[in-house]
Structure 1
């Protein structure tokens, strides 16, 4: 296991003796961050015996939940973002939107400017952001001594975060990436990929990867809807998917579509999917690289969200938050089928 993990890291181990990382911090305990922070805290406690993971979340209840789950010996709760960034040597952030990311890093920069570090400090931005924001964050931190920014988005749904099977993408200062990679693998992910020194490359690659997932969702949604209209049925098409395309996105999202399991609290919330689709469409526009499948997926996400909002207004919504696989509602409605209930309305009868 150790040998496999080492093979999955594109960096040699940090030099010894050298800078010793005493404290690690984690800001953001959402659908992905909670699992990543939990696994990181457990791994450090069982393998390094160092100080507890320091966590901060705007809703303290999530931090308290994490501490209750794995113990106060493994998790320490910071009272503020400023405390987190000043006390820790490496700080990971996993946040919901570009606006939140910028706001948090402005807090970090203000605290560090008032109390300049005297030893290396690494900030690792793991959220899905638009690439140009990485440059803005770098500018915020550039005049603070000993401070390095690494962009480190991850690939994988919450289930992969839960099982520490994420793929970690890193860009930025080489030595900092080396430190970060050996913290994350195998504690949080199964593999680290080096995208070089340009901080924008990691978030750019994250959007490229998410465009593939969005394309997968759109292909499944269209094929399943056509199967229903043809009287064959989406479940039959899903059986073929499992045989022909036995990859996690096809199998996992296909299952959600055919079983109407659109709970965004257990998956990837549709608002996050819409944010990513908008980022991808902006990127392809800037680079003159058309991606019509993402345009189609974007429209179907909007349709699904609009229908869901109307259902919530009428008190008829099954889920508080939709998973982005619910974009199948767009193709279903376009085909004259019910948006979220595959058992309704009457379908073509098989011969």
Structure 2
């Protein structure tokens, strides 16, 4: 595999994978790329696992994936699960020095800044004889992408891509994510053929500006978050009116074929189905879904983006308020020792609608059922 990206976005298409908008990378070279992964949270763990598991399809028979996570128990768990398919790094600096393609999947913008600062510090005095591609898959504010690109640009032979993904951890486990990419075209080709189909099922190319993919990610998340907010309000009304949340959810399931006829796998059919079931069953375990802190971070980023472009989106303002309400209520329950879950899923934002309607936040009172004659 050639890892010598060009700065041109012009290319000649050729037949490739159905999930990729790119032609195949150049003919493999004598250099076998070393792949690294930093960040093994709920999403990163599954993605790194799939990347390592599908290493047989990597160019030139790439060796084990080098992984790092701040909490060592996560790397230990992955090593126990995959054995020789992964190696554990001592630091982000080791990943930067030893690897040719480096993926990052981190929870906050602050964590991303810290890790990339460590990358730069490690590479500043290193003599690089081959290129490196850094692939940021986290959900970050768009201007941070520009900062990271500038941070690495002073180091010769380095290239930076933004490549956030759509889908929950369950979709990540099944390699059913959708990835959006922006940055250098040749680098995108290299990375695209590493991740499809083993890690993601489809890549959407957004051009050379590295801020475009993070912007698109926030737009997509606004659709998902808005859908969850609308669903939470409707489920609350179904409860209070006596129609029944179970009946409303049956309607959602019945309209699934119609929804899927004009939507992707994630918007809005899946949020209505997946998060509707969580609201119906009051199952708000964030360790099995998308933690509410991540939802609040994303909602904050979306609102900041809306402000920057003078583009109001009231449903996100309301969803943000309900996320904060749910977290505050959960913290109050934790203080009393009665919290059901250690971490809340962001679908728990329904608590905001429920409390406003005079209902308990995370459970149902005895519902008034529809009397069927």
Matched, 1:54 2:76: no
Q: Summarize deviations over 1:207-240 as a string: whole Å, max 9, x none.
A: 0000000011011001000111110111110111
Where 2:181 maps in the other structure, the secondary structure is strand
**Equivalent in 182, 192, 201 of residue 171 of structure 1:** 182
* 2:32/2:62 contact within 8 Å kept: no
In structure 1, the gaps of 5 or more residues are none
Conserved in 2, the CA contact under 8 Å of 1:5 and 1:186? Answer: no
- Per-residue deviation at 1:244? 2.1
Contact 1:131/1:200 (8 A) holds in 2? yes
Counterpart position of 2:223: 212
Contact 2:16 2:22 in 1 (8 A): no
2:78 and 2:295 map into 1 onto residues whose CA distance is 26
Distance apart, 1:242 and its partner CA = 1.3
Query: Which residues in structure 2 correspond to 1:203-282 (within 5 Å)?
Result: 203-245=214-256, 246=259, 247-282=269-304
Structure 1 segments of 4+ aligned residues over 3 angstroms from their partners = 17-21, 45-49, 346-351
- Mapped partners of 1:15, 1:197: distance in 2: 19
1:131 to 132, 142, 145: 142
Q: Distance in 1 between matches of 2:75 and 2:57?
A: 20
Q: State yes or no: 1:63 paired with 2:75.
A: yes
CA distance in 2: counterparts of 1:11 and 1:236, whole angstroms: 45
How much is the aligned-residue C-alpha RMSD, in angstroms?
A: 1.5
Query: 1:157 aligned to 138, 163, 168, which one?
Result: 168
Task: Please give the alpha-carbon distance, in whole angstroms, between the structure 1 residues aligned to 2:311 and 2:317.
Answer: 12
What is residue 106 of structure 1 aligned with on the other side? 117
How far did 1:277 drift?
Answer: 0.2
By how many angstroms is 1:294 displaced? Answer: 0.5
CA distance 1:150–1:251, change in 2 (3 Å):
same
**How far apart, CA to CA, are the structure 2 residues paired with 1:149 and 1:20?**
20
Is contact 1:45-1:52 (8 Å) kept? Answer: no
Could you tell me the TM-score, scaled by structure 1's length?
0.95
* Shift, 1:60, TM fit: 1.3
The answer on 1:120 being equivalent to 2:131 is yes
Aligned length: 345
Specify the alignment match of 2:342 in structure 1: 320
Counterpart Cα distance in 1 of 2:254 and 2:315: 23
Look up the match of 1:333: 355
Pair 1:286 & 2:308 matched: yes
Question: What is the SS of the residue equivalent to 2:54?
Answer: helix
Mean Cα deviation higher: 8-17 or 146-155: 8-17
Q: TM-score, normalised by structure 2?
A: 0.90
Partner of 1:9: 20
Equivalent residues of 2:141, 2:215 under 8 A apart:
yes
User: Structure 1 residues 46 and 13, CA, compared in 2 at 3 Å: closer, same or farther?
Assistant: closer
Looking at structure 2, the residues matched to 194 and 69 of structure 1 have their Cα atoms a distance apart, in angstroms, of: 33
- Higher mean Cα deviation, 266-275 or 9-18? 9-18
User: Are the aligned partners of 1:5 and 1:190 in contact in 2 as well (CA < 8 Å)?
Assistant: no
Q: CA deviation at 1:347?
A: 3.6
CA contact (8 A) 2:176 2:199 kept: yes
**C-alpha distance in 1 between matches for 2:166 and 2:187:** 20
Q: Which residue of 2 aligns with 1:201?
A: 212
